[in-house]
Amino acid sequence: MKNTIKVERAKKDITQAGLAEQLGVSRQTINAIEKGKFVPSTALALKMARFFECKVEDIFLLEEED
């Protein structure tokens, strides 16, 4: 599962810590997701999409192995 969080974050010019605060999670959680260490819950994915004003599908991309 790939994601475009870093790019979306750049568009909004917000830091990992800033995004974490907006979404109500820890900075490490954002970092881990962004680095692909794990995939967020659907609730968090939906909140991210809402914050970035796009669809979940725009941020999280299914791959073969998913």
Interface positions with its own copies (CB under 8 A):
1, 39-43, 45-47, 49-50, 55-57, 60, 62, 66
Contact 57, 45 (CB under 8 A): no
Q: Which does 47 bind (CB under 5 to 8 A by kind): its own copies, DNA, none?
A: its own copies
Task: Enumerate the β-bridge partners of residue 61.
Answer: 2
Using CB under 7 A as the criterion, what x/- string covers residues 9-28 for binding DNA? x-----xxx------xxxxx
Whole-number minimum distance, CB 54 to DNA, in Å?
18
List Cα–Cα distances, 64 to 4, 56, 58, 61, in angstroms: 17, 18, 17, 10
Distance CA 18, CA 57 (A): 22
User: What does the binding site for DNA look like in residue numbers (CB under 7 A)?
Assistant: 9, 15-17, 24-29, 31-35, 38-41, 43-44
